[in-house]
Amino acid sequence: MTEVSGHLKTTKQSARFLRVGILLCTLYAVLMMLHWPIGFTFFTLLSNLFTALVVLLQLLAPPERQRPLRLWKYLAVSSIFLTFLVYLLVLAPIMPGGIRAAYRQDHYASLCLHLITPLLAIADFLLHDGDYPWRKRHVLCALLPPMAWLLFILVLGQCGLRWGAGSMTAPYPFLNYAAPAGWFGWMPETAGYTTLGIGVAYAILLMIPVMLVLAALLLFAQRALEQRRKTLETEDSHGNHR
């Protein structure tokens, strides 16, 4: 009983450490980006704020209110996982100055938003949010935040808001339908900072399976870790009884 209590105490401490780290990194990034209001329309910052809000609720909520928050945590972490991967593999390499400069933007707020906070959030979810009846349908639910954001951006674009020195109809080059490739074009020779050279429709169709795979990986990894933890606890229990 003492060992179980000690394990629970350690688990709570590690969860608190990771969650406070998420809040501090997000707060720092927000403060560093106050000079750039349009940045608050980017999926990067919104997914970080979504994650920070859920984490804050987890820190404040009593134990009996924790379980329902885990589904929201899953949606937030799936979104921030997408932020981490797309920036690392697609956006940072085409930024002026390369990958290092991309992560140093806004006094390293970019590093917090695109790397540190996502990794802390993923670790927290995998280690501390397993107590939920996860189903395959929850993977599909992970599409809701990015799709809601996409609708939000399309509305802003139609209302006249522009990004990237006023030339882009979306915050990211793969959603810029004002580029030569438009919605359904294929012009890889035009790829650059404002476009990837492929139609926006193709980019969206590509992102959907990517998002589903990331969401499924989170649940698979969490299930594997949870099973491993239970196996170790069972072995320890049997060993103690001997």
Condensed to tens digits (0 to 9), the pLDDT of residues 32-52 reads 999 999 999 999 999 999 999
Q: Which of 2-6, 99-103, 198-202, 208-212 has the lowest mean pLDDT?
A: 2-6
CB of 142 closer than 8 Å to CB of 211:
yes
Query: Any bridge partners for residue 168, and if so which?
Result: 163
Domain count, the chain: 1
- The rounded radius of gyration (Å) of the Cα atoms in the chain is 20
Distance CA 151, CA 96 (A): 28
The SS3 assignment for 118 reads: helix
- Model pTM score: 0.89
| Tokens 């989170």 sit on residue | 218
Q: Which of 74-83, 182-191, 229-238 has the lowest mean pLDDT?
A: 229-238
Predicted confidence at residue 164, as pLDDT, reads 85
* DSSP character at residue 136: T
Predicted confidence at residue 68, as pLDDT, reads 87
Indicate the length of the chain as a whole number: 242
The tokens of 70 are what?
């885990």
| Tokens 């390293």 sit on residue | 108
Count other C-beta atoms under 10 Å from residue 195's C-beta.
28
Condensed to tens digits (0 to 9), the pLDDT of residues 53-99 reads 999 999 999 888 888 899 999 999 999 999 999 999 999 998 888 89
What range does the domain containing 149 cover? 2-241
CB of 11 closer than 8 Å to CB of 5:
no
Q: How confident is the model at residue 166 (pLDDT cuts 50, 70, 90)?
A: confident
Predicted confidence at residue 80, as pLDDT, reads 97
